[in-house]
Structure 1
């Protein structure tokens, strides 16, 4: 049997968050792909957090950096994602994220 390339998307996205559109949806789907999309057969778990560079969002979504920043902030405000910096401190504001070398993302989907 050939390997199937797929990513599981949490049901709550379809049940409660179908109103998300445009750049917010694109950014959310990249985060889902980078976390839920990676499965470790040894631990039998998906990634909870993943470091995702803004350039990765740009490449995968074809959006501009500013648009991605706005979408990230809206997703944080909607309590759909969490973001922390390389020191483990939550980066809830654009200024927190601006001065961070690495940003780690997690889907919360409340």
Structure 2
């Protein structure tokens, strides 16, 4: 039986990636799949990419506007989505996406996994330089005495763990 009002979701999502995805990642990924594979073009093929704003992600998935950029970055690092601009230039770093008005999202499963450059080799920029965002400088100086060494970003910690595993 063929259903007309359905969206085709790749089995790879359920079989391989579902255990590793957080709830917000799953919501964002499912919405991207709905906006692309869920639409048929006039020639009978499915859309490969779609322009989606953070506001659309927020209203359709319920994910907060503050966590959407981190969730998108996490999906990029897991190589489940591809983010481009109008000319199909990759926007895989947050600094590349900042200020852009037309951002296109493509779900990436086995058929397009070979087209993605090694995103993991690119270094992620820290979101903020201070230990805590809403503290005054006087409070930070007292905290720096206790911390001793500089904080590591999540990206650097993941890279160290992967290096240790490969040894």
TM-score between the two structures when normalised by the length of structure 1: 0.89
**Runs of 4 or more consecutive aligned structure 1 residues displaced over 6 Å after TM superposition:** none
**Structure 2, unaligned stretches of length 5 or more?**
111-167
Structure with larger RCO (C-alpha < 8 A, sep 6+)? 1
Task: Using the TM superposition, name which of 29-38 and 83-92 deviates more.
Answer: 83-92
Name 1:82's counterpart in structure 2: 82
RMSD over aligned Cα, in angstroms?
1.4
Name 1:5's counterpart in structure 2: 5
1:4: Cα distance to partner? 4.5
Q: Based on CA coordinates, which of the two structures has the bigger radius of gyration?
A: 2
**Structure 1, unaligned stretches of length 5 or more?**
none
Give the distance between the partners of 1:7 and 1:88, measured in 2 at CA: 24
Give the distance between the partners of 2:72 and 2:46, measured in 1 at CA: 22
How many residues align? The count is 107
Alignment of 1:18-29 (within 5 A): 18-19=18-19, 20-29=21-30
Partner SS for 1:90: coil
- Alignment check: 8 A CA contact 1:86 1:101 kept: no
TM-score between the two structures when normalised by the length of structure 2: 0.60
Q: Which has the higher strand share?
A: 1
